[in-house]
Structure 1
Amino acid sequence: MANAPNGNQWARLDRDLHRISRIEIAVAHTSRPLVGTGVALAFLVLAALLAELVLGFPPGGVLVAAAAVFGAYMALNIGANDVANNMGPVVGARALRMSTAIVIAALAEIAGALLAGSDVVSTISVGIVDPQSVPQGPPLLAMMMAALMAAALFINFATLIGAPVSTTHSIVGGVMGAGIAAAGYEALNWPMMGRITASWIVSPLMGGAIAAAVLALIRNRISRREDKMAAARRWVPILVGFMGGTFAAYLGIKGLGRIVTLSGSEALVLGVVSGLLLWGATIPVIRRQSAGMENRMRSVKALFALPLVIAATLLSFAHGANDVANAVGPLAAIVHAAEHGALAEGIAVPNWVMLIGAFGIAFGLFLFGPRLIRRVGSQITKLNPMRSYCVALSAAVTVILASWLGLPVSSTHIAVGGVFGIGFYREWEAGRRQYSTSQRLAREERRRRKLVRRSHFLTIVAAWVVTVPLAGSLAAGIFWMLMLIV
């Protein structure tokens, strides 16, 4: 019988097993990105197979399959980048864990895309290019394919550098660049491009100003009151009712296309009625929830946690209803052109195309979304449920105001602008308190007390500025490459 290991041998064995376990942990950590990439590639292959099976392998089936792959790739990138604007503040405020937020957002995005996503999309995204000015056949197909590929590649790059960008502006830039390459500058709708350029400035400023105004209202009506809980019982139901009414009107204007079509006045009536009902229903809920709470701001912030989660879920639903068109619109146009040889003014989106867009956004969020969620939620400025609620509410209010004014705004710019608005308002408020006490701080100390990270601010703003020109230049180059192939 062999001798049992002595104490030294057991110690060496323990050290070796510990090293092996550390190697296994390191391998698992480094292989995580590969797992995400593998699942994403499998989804792209399934999208191509679905396109071929549904269409029955037509003569132009290879082109349609390739378009399905890039439509799925675009949807993955939308999920990885754009959805962070809705769930980032919730995670940053610690109202939800990352995993729970991702599950809720994914389900809401799928529901929004499949239930309320537009079943008809514009032939050329938001009227940027006149379809009649583009030669039919290969040039038209190459233009739409180039726009889709360029937008997806640009959003992928922005996600890698941690910059939340507008997927709508990305696809607009792609269509613009490919349209210029295919038909020249005269084919573009320059007034529309001017309005989109103006929205780069209007969207974040409106979002930031409204978020800061709501935070100032809460500070004046609740935070600075001696009896904070009594003020919260009065004002939180009002704010929740206003939120509910705003989101009802928002969805009525932007998102219920497959369920019911509402005019602007009907959406406004829906918003007012919904707001009043929710206000009345929230009063007893807040009273029960606040019973026994201490009279301090920590208790007030806790009252905003559930309304914040509901607001973020509704934002994700509306996002799925609206921005899925950025992935499926060009794909639907390519499928229509391949089947009929030309484009019409309005194109019906096949159900299989909508499925690719809906599940692509969900997969992109699951696989690659956490990085941008952390960036928006905690790395720009410090958020809590009350501040994050202000961001969510400002997003809905800004979209409604912009729709009323006829301005094409970006949900990404609004949401991130709201986060910046909260941070800069808190900086201004802290500076006002400092000067009111005649306390002068050294320059280094003032810099240390900044509540908005300037490096992220500059990175994000730079990415916004270059979105349309960079996506357009990339699309033009891809178009010329495709024309050499076809």
Structure 2
Amino acid sequence: MVTTLLVVVICLAIIFDFINGFHDAANSIATIVSTKVLTPFQAVLWAATFNFLAFFVIKDHKVANTVAKIVIQDYVTINVILAGLAAAITWNLITWWFGIPSSSSHTLIGGFAGAGMTNAIFMGVNPIEAVKMDYIGTIAMYIVLAPFIGLFIAYIITILIMNICRNARPATAEKWFKAGQLISSAALSFAHGGNDAQKVMGIIYITLVTGKVITNDAAMPDWIPLTCYSAIALGTMSGGWKIVKTMGSKITKVTPLEGVSAEAAGAITLTITERLGIPVSTTHTITGSIIGVGLTKRVSAVRWGVTINLLWAWVITIPISALLAGGVYSLIRLFA
């Protein structure tokens, strides 16, 4: 029974990774589609390619290690992981359906933590003791910091480019910026794959440890990164057009110059946090970057009503995912 359940949980983790790809595809392609540098179909193929290329470059999976250790091992069971994944998939699909660019990363983290804390309650233990609060605290801090880092970097890059190119012919400049978007969107897609695929690697790894397939000090089997990068790339290829519309046009109107700035800022932020092992949200980061380029024109260029709605989605993602996971885990205990 454990073996069958183990396979089911791993399959669910891969499904979540696929959903993460099409849910977060907008992060990588929204600006390049809105500026008409690539068609939607070309854009998803471009993004998926660079999602997968991260597999050949990133070998030190610090983000995966962080995610795997969010819940203390004593409170992790196969059912806890199952409940966390079920909740994360559910919330991801709900937000995708309504075109809300919420964070797949925080959905997964909230679900895993919520199921672990619920297990602690059933064991008669303070639920706070089931999770590593320093990890949760860092993740919570970067819910706030990541968009502001992206905003700041995007603002600076945009101002620098505008000053460097102030004497350039508009038609020539736009041609170069459209070519530049191919590079910046590729960098963002690479960083997205490298950051987000690792979160599911961490979940699959802790599933194998919990199922006693490997020990908790064993190296990650090679098939896990290969499978996760493949799943997120295939998910990206399937698109996520409702969120593309929100990210590409509803926050602020984006030009090729601003697309380069936003994507470059997002890629820089994600690369830095990946090297630090911090599982930040790609969605939050690129949204902040898009706001940053909007602010270089004027404050009113940003549609703050849309942005405030996005902020609410960010705030509630972890607690809702945790509550969903707690409910799913309770049902599993009731019927299992």
The equivalent of 2:85 in structure 1 is: 148
The equivalent of 1:421 in structure 2 is: 292
Aligned CA distance change for structure 1 residues 120 and 482 (closer, same or farther; 3 Å): farther
The structure 1 residue matched to 2:179, chosen from 303, 306, 309, is: 306
The structure 2 residue matched to 1:220, chosen from 133, 145, 163, is: 163
Q: Give TM-score scaled by structure 1 length.
A: 0.62
Deviations 1:427-463 (A, max 9, x none): 24xxxxxxxxxxxxxxxxxxxxx42233421221111
The structure 1 residue matched to 2:130, chosen from 182, 187, 212, is: 187
SS of the counterpart of 1:381?
A: coil
The equivalent of 2:328 in structure 1 is: 478
SS of the counterpart of 2:326?
A: helix
Unaligned runs of 5+ in 2: 121-126
Q: CA deviation at 1:80?
A: 1.4
Pair 1:348 & 2:220 matched? yes
SS of the counterpart of 2:302?
A: coil
Q: CA deviation at 1:117?
A: 5.9
Aligned counterparts of 2:276 and 2:47: Cα–Cα separation in 1: 29
Aligned CA distance change for structure 1 residues 152 and 346 (closer, same or farther; 3 Å): farther
Q: Is the 8 A contact 1:120 1:349 kept in 2?
A: no
Aligned counterparts of 2:283 and 2:41: Cα–Cα separation in 1: 22
Aligned CA distance change for structure 1 residues 343 and 461 (closer, same or farther; 3 Å): farther
Aligned CA distance change for structure 1 residues 465 and 321 (closer, same or farther; 3 Å): same
The equivalent of 2:268 in structure 1 is: 397
Q: 2:154 corresponds to which letter in structure 1? A: A
The share of aligned pairs that are identical, in percent, is 25
Pair 1:364 & 2:235 matched? yes
What is the number of residues matched between the two proteins?
330
The equivalent of 1:46 in structure 2 is: none
Q: Is the 8 A contact 1:80 1:372 kept in 2?
A: no
Aligned counterparts of 1:391 and 1:105: Cα–Cα separation in 2: 15
SS of the counterpart of 1:456?
A: helix
Aligned counterparts of 2:205 and 2:269: Cα–Cα separation in 1: 30
Unaligned runs of 5+ in 1: 1-58, 230-294, 429-449
The equivalent of 2:258 in structure 1 is: 387
SS of the counterpart of 1:465?
A: helix
Aligned counterparts of 1:407 and 1:103: Cα–Cα separation in 2: 27
The structure 2 residue matched to 1:324, chosen from 190, 197, 203, is: 197
Aligned CA distance change for structure 1 residues 155 and 345 (closer, same or farther; 3 Å): farther
The equivalent of 2:41 in structure 1 is: 99
Deviations 1:158-180 (A, max 9, x none): 11121222222222111211111
The equivalent of 2:113 in structure 1 is: 176
Aligned counterparts of 1:392 and 1:378: Cα–Cα separation in 2: 15
The structure 1 residue matched to 2:8, chosen from 59, 66, 91, is: 66
Aligned counterparts of 1:108 and 1:350: Cα–Cα separation in 2: 19
Q: Is the 8 A contact 2:44 2:238 kept in 1?
A: no
SS of the counterpart of 2:238?
A: helix
Larger radius of gyration: 1
Deviations 1:137-167 (A, max 9, x none): xx61111111222122212211112122222
Q: Give TM-score scaled by structure 2 length.
A: 0.87
Q: CA deviation at 1:214?
A: 1.5
Q: 2:48 corresponds to which letter in structure 1? A: A
Aligned CA distance change for structure 1 residues 160 and 100 (closer, same or farther; 3 Å): same
SS of the counterpart of 2:100?
A: coil
1:222-241 pair list within 5 angstroms: 222-223=165-166, 228-229=167-168
Aligned CA distance change for structure 1 residues 404 and 361 (closer, same or farther; 3 Å): closer
Q: 1:338 corresponds to which letter in structure 2? A: G
The equivalent of 1:459 in structure 2 is: 309
Aligned counterparts of 2:218 and 2:289: Cα–Cα separation in 1: 34
Aligned counterparts of 2:101 and 2:304: Cα–Cα separation in 1: 15
SS of the counterpart of 1:96?
A: coil
The equivalent of 2:124 in structure 1 is: none
Root mean square deviation of aligned Cα:
2.6
Deviations 1:281-327 (A, max 9, x none): xxxxxxxxxxxxxx3x2321211222221121122123223311223
Q: CA deviation at 1:98?
A: 0.9
Aligned counterparts of 1:88 and 1:349: Cα–Cα separation in 2: 34
Aligned CA distance change for structure 1 residues 418 and 198 (closer, same or farther; 3 Å): same
Aligned counterparts of 1:117 and 1:376: Cα–Cα separation in 2: 31
Q: 2:263 corresponds to which letter in structure 1? A: A
SS of the counterpart of 1:87?
A: helix
Q: 2:157 corresponds to which letter in structure 1? A: V
Q: Is the 8 A contact 2:64 2:201 kept in 1?
A: no
Bigger relative contact order, structure 1 or 2 (CA pairs below 8 A, ≥6 apart): 2
Q: 1:333 corresponds to which letter in structure 2? A: I
The equivalent of 1:374 in structure 2 is: 245
Moved more, 193-202 or 394-403: 394-403
Aligned counterparts of 1:110 and 1:214: Cα–Cα separation in 2: 27
Moved more, 452-461 or 152-161: 452-461
